[in-house]
Structure 1
């Protein structure tokens, strides 16, 4: 269902949302200059750029490499999907799916997996074994590793090829993740399942290394399923994913708008796996706290991540934008951060998900500022986002009204009861994959987050459609202030 905001005051009270994040249309009108509101500083937290600090200048950690050789590695092969499905258009309040679950019979149980592990000694006295999982035609493979028990000091590594750096996680960290998932209400098997990163191709290798003296029988894990990416989230030029790499025709490349590059450094593309093994894309924003502590607080949408088990699967891609204005090349500084996140607060009332990344944000980021004062109709906001998982874009729109949203419907409201800001677009729009991205207001020389994207009706064919952002000021006063500004009334 489509709706037009050409005469938004005359719209029916109830609007149906056509898709999460709307579409990718644009008219070519020049955005009006926003009035600079006069607000007390107590109504905002300033952005924080740690560049130049000792923390930002610290040398990056050396890449982790595989320890298993060919003799210690066995392959588990899955054929092509019988009928691979194209990515479906995102629905309102539903994230953009990019992968499907597949069962793995060969490693479905602890006993079956143990029978495949071929242990070999290493030069430093440990033992190592590896399983290479291949899924024909996959654009990425994430392994759902069910960890029942590991000896103290054991390490799991994941990598695409032997030449690539590996992602490593130890037994203690795995135990902490499982405990956090269980405390969040996940069933036992879901709590104990660790979802590996993907490496942008049809294979992912799981390597297990145990300390000298540890018994191989103490390794009790299985890989009953994996997530098979049917589209390529890391390759904007892939024709297999409709509109990835094409959204620039409607949205504005953020590299062409240097005044938004600070906000660009706060925004990341999200890839995560739900309990059913399906993979999804959204967008999130790194937030500063009142102390500029460098804690990696992260804002997105409740319809993207609403449970701890899903938060634990999160990987984020930073600086994922074009290398030059209008160019098709990817910024070489693009950085992937694995390790998941801790879910601190989530609510459908404002469609908010507030997390803390479990590993430090990469060097070069900016912690975005936030504004929790009033936002009035007529004010211009900007969204920085990853439409369809594409290279980062920026869109500009104007606040039309307050709304209350639930499911596929939004009703007109006021600033007292409305929990969403409804925007009409002036330049660019948003689309599936943009879900959870922040809307920024300009106050003087700086910009501040005032909401995160739920969904709407805009598209290339309907650039006059509207989109809805959960009000950050409501979420802040309800709960988020307890982390960003503890002790405030």
Structure 2
């Protein structure tokens, strides 16, 4: 049956000889043991004898075995179980207190244990009876356990008490003659010091890594509902206890059935799987968190014991999912949240993981780049292909949350605050923060397996609605949410508006979030985001009511472009004139286009190490938005021992650039170390009416696998091209063996918004005979290679070409005043103003109705007439890292050339040059 455990920490105030519960106590029936009322009564101290628990093992031996099994994918062990046989009848002693109360006490000592947890073969408290458990120094107190705790009796477990001694104290009922059944069958000997620190009554200790972020830091502001559905678990598997994380789930019947989602491997110890009797003694801790960010005090924990297995999706060849059912409904006063879910096979663009790393108080890890589809592999087992998501967590204000042992089974939330996966494992740490974090997909947990016992759909969608997503909720009445949220790009800011909830109860204020990070709280129906970041922004608004309850979020998505201002504004007036000549540089934008994911996975080659081209292609319709824009760089991965060239073609318009080995950073054949960005010697102008191929030519193949590819899925005919002559192109994809050719070439083009000039044939460096080589070589089976840097671009078709913002005009401001500004056509980069005064200028760019930020402030520089006659001089300025250009107003361009003849810098209309 289910058990509701009571936890109460108290501290001895020796001066007053009173025991007062600490503010972070868990209290159900409450109260204190009767013996505490009599202080240091000598009779009481002599009346109880200590029972020594037999400890016939070495702790270091246990830890050595744990270190070995950690490589096998088992959950984090915290305690070993020592068989005992202690009952009210055969252990402890009975005492009558000075006030006439009758009590039974059993004092246990398990030498050198970090903490002790008790497992019961039978646990039953009569009506009116009370059981307390406390530490040797009485600083930690559990209870009172009453008849309501476990009314059916049978298997049970109580929580950890820190230290190697504890005392059970049972107070006899005054209303029932029934005897208690307290049969302790195992002592949970806690030996994992790092994981059990927080059970030792020292609230400042932490068991997780130093980079972890408390759930009640600002990173968790938007997740205060969802966190209440995440629990820490202590699970018995045979003769040991282990820890994981789990989440309480909503279902389409919304009947608040206590469904617990976690990882299947949390029931596996490397040799055995937890059976039904083990699960009767699993403990689930809700609300285990610190009161505030970095705070020493923690909140009141609510603990439930006992569950049954419903669904197991398997670890080997599966998605490592497990669905449990608690043995009894969760009391409404527990204030838990039933998390929502998303069973679609779509990568989350952003989100969080909420978890209990190493059993610590609840933490949050944040990711802002899309999840990537992958296959879990370890030394012990391999998951089903593409049944997991991998996410890379990011640095935030209060740390850089990752995952670690004890986080297993924790939920992965997407940008819509729905669970999309459960943690299987990874290799991220506080040192290696960019490591793997692999989550079994909800879409695979759902119904991807033949066995009915491996389907979660019948439990999470019991009404058979067929919905793909379900929102989370509380058990009580849901607070009304705002309506009709609208986000408008105002150029430099984003304006948000919404409607009031349709309810008689009015909110006190509204919380505003951007990408699930709180950015403000207002009492009106609008908000201005003054500092939006460029990219896809999800704005959410919730209503907060007088009782402190927050409504569900209402969201809208906006693709925000941060419009750039002109740069290098200069204002020059000759000493003999009142005319001020203004010059500036046009804003320049860049984008990178590619097909696939750019996530490094495979390397490929052809038999006999034949030279070949590999690349990507865009149709004229796809490339049209970039007409007359320029390719300025190409990105790819060179492998050592090979010689590469860049080759770009649009029909008869081609560009070829041999690459010197000294200009590249090579990866070896066993590990990919990173992507090279190679600048073109001359920008290539795009003709939007022709298809575009960007490729790499391997003119000399010194290794078997010289071309790097991603992990798919393939964008066939676009992302996976190869050729032997640069004219006739084929694809890597093999219809007869699609699983072995499901990848794209890792290559990308960097596009600038700068205009170029089209010509018939841009190729002035084609090597003689290079396009005439023809080979008949077979493709070597692709080789999977470990990548030392993992991309996080997600399961998407690529980064598509998009039109750059269109500049329509400039606006010139004098002395910072908004009155009477001068507007200039967007095609101009100069303006003459009549101004005899010492003033300063600023300029903005308009994109339709949207105005950019102001440019740099340009004070008027007065030049004498000798500079007007065309005399020019250039010399370095000491200590400034700059050069001074005398007479720069008559110079249209400066080229900086290295001693080897390479162009290092080009500056149009220069001023002072860094």
Give yes or no for TM over 0.5: yes
Q: Which has the larger strand fraction?
A: 2
Give the CA deviation at 1:351: 1.7
**2: distance between equivalents of 1:365 and 1:129?**
35
Which residue in the other structure is 1:141 paired with? Answer: 116
**Match among 178, 200, 209 for residue 162 of structure 2:** 200
Which residue in the other structure is 2:463 paired with? Answer: 487
Give the CA deviation at 1:174: 6.7
Give the CA deviation at 1:319: 3.1
Asked if the contact 1:142–1:197 (Cα under 8 Å) also holds between the matched residues in 2, the reply is yes
CA RMSD for the aligned pairs?
A: 4.1
Give the CA deviation at 1:175: 4.9
Per the alignment, do residues 214 and 123 of structure 1 end up closer, same or farther by CA in structure 2, a change over 3 Å counting? Answer: farther
**Match among 285, 298, 302 for residue 247 of structure 2:** 285
**Match among 423, 429, 439 for residue 453 of structure 1:** 423
Alignment of 1:31-430 (within 5 A): 61-63=28-30, 65-66=32-33, 70=44, 74-78=49-53, 83-85=58-60, 88=66, 90-91=70-71, 93-104=73-84, 108=85, 114-119=89-94, 128-147=103-122, 157-161=131-135, 164-168=141-145, 170=147, 173=150, 175=152, 178=154, 192=155, 194-207=156-169, 221-223=183-185, 225-231=187-193, 233=195, 235-236=197-198, 244-245=206-207, 247-249=209-211, 251-254=212-215, 255-257=217-219, 258-276=221-239, 278-305=240-267, 306-325=274-293, 327=294, 329-348=295-314, 349-357=318-326, 358=328, 359-360=330-331, 363-376=334-347, 379-397=349-367, 398-403=370-375, 408-410=380-382, 413=385, 418-427=386-395, 428-430=401-403
Per the alignment, do residues 205 and 291 of structure 1 end up closer, same or farther by CA in structure 2, a change over 3 Å counting? Answer: farther
**2: distance between equivalents of 1:431 and 1:261?**
22
**2: distance between equivalents of 1:171 and 1:386?**
29
Q: Deviations over 1:178-233 (max 9, x none)?
A: 4xxxxxxxxxxxxx5x33222333333345567678586x9584545443344264
Give the CA deviation at 1:268: 1.9
Alignment length, in residue pairs? 394
Unaligned runs of 5+ in 1: 1-59, 179-191
Per the alignment, do residues 244 and 117 of structure 1 end up closer, same or farther by CA in structure 2, a change over 3 Å counting? Answer: closer
SS in 2 for 1:197: coil
Asked if the contact 2:373–2:387 (Cα under 8 Å) also holds between the matched residues in 1, the reply is no
Per the alignment, do residues 319 and 121 of structure 1 end up closer, same or farther by CA in structure 2, a change over 3 Å counting? Answer: same
Give the CA deviation at 1:331: 4.6
Q: Normalising by structure 1, what TM-score?
A: 0.67
Give the CA deviation at 1:133: 1.5
**2: distance between equivalents of 1:260 and 1:150?**
38
Give the CA deviation at 1:483: 2.9
Per the alignment, do residues 209 and 146 of structure 1 end up closer, same or farther by CA in structure 2, a change over 3 Å counting? Answer: farther
Give the CA deviation at 1:169: 5.6
SS in 1 for 2:131: strand
Asked if the contact 1:80–1:137 (Cα under 8 Å) also holds between the matched residues in 2, the reply is no
Structure with higher RCO (Cα < 8 A, 6+ apart) = 1
Give the CA deviation at 1:403: 1.9
SS in 2 for 1:265: helix
Per the alignment, do residues 353 and 318 of structure 1 end up closer, same or farther by CA in structure 2, a change over 3 Å counting? Answer: same
Per the alignment, do residues 362 and 287 of structure 1 end up closer, same or farther by CA in structure 2, a change over 3 Å counting? Answer: farther
Give the CA deviation at 1:456: 1.6
SS in 2 for 1:304: helix
Give the CA deviation at 1:273: 2.8
Which residue in the other structure is 1:189 paired with? Answer: none
Per the alignment, do residues 460 and 134 of structure 1 end up closer, same or farther by CA in structure 2, a change over 3 Å counting? Answer: same
Asked if the contact 2:357–2:403 (Cα under 8 Å) also holds between the matched residues in 1, the reply is yes
SS in 2 for 1:429: coil
Q: Deviations over 1:325-352 (max 9, x none)?
A: 3x2x345324141433333333323222
